[in-house]
């Protein structure tokens, strides 16, 4: 099955570096699930939003050019499950987490964190009040 792995810029491994390690694992799991459905699947969008991941897969069409509704239904079920899981998974460590507000001085974001990683971010806050979590960037 390894020969079916495309890993181009349109598949989920391209986005694993844009999120923390806890969510990167969720994206890789989703990648393997989507590969099982369609080795040439493509992602239109993968981003953070409201404390979780938001993933949109590209539509697929059959040989006659007709929309593949079965693919859309199955892919949506998988992406919805991954998005829901991300809201309960710490973006940093991958443990159980919940959405938390972070930021200060005009910049605020929401991400899912466990109690431990959330406390670590507060302790590592920069002088301007903005925490710099490893793997999350600014």
List, as one string, the DSSP characters of 67-78.
B-HHHHHHHHHH
pLDDT at 108: 79
Spans of all domains in the chain: 8-88
For each successive 10 residues of the chain (138 residues), what is the average pLDDT? 59 93 96 94 92 94 90 96 97 95 77 91 60 52
Cα–Cα dist 133/27, whole Å: 19
pLDDT at 101: 87
Burial of 113 (0-12, 13-18, 19+ CB in 10 A): buried
pLDDT at 2: 43
pLDDT at 1: 40
């Amino acid at each position: 099955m390894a020969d079916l792995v495309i890993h181009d810029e349109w598949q989920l491994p391209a986005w694993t570096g844009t999120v923390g390690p806890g969510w990167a694992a969720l994206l890789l799991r989703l990648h393997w699930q989507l590969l099982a459905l369609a080795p040439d699947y493509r992602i239109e969008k993968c981003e953070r939003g409201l404390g979780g991941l938001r993933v949109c897969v590209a539509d697929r069409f059959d040989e006659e050019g007709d929309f593949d509704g079965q693919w859309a239904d199955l892919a949506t079920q998988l992406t919805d499950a991954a998005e829901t899981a991300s809201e309960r998974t710490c973006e940093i460590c991958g443990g159980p987490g919940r959405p938390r507000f972070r930021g200060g001085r005009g910049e605020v974001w929401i991400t899912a964190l466990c109690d431990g990683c959330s406390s670590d971010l507060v302790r590592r806050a920069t002088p301007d009040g903005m925490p710099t979590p490893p793997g999350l960037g600014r």
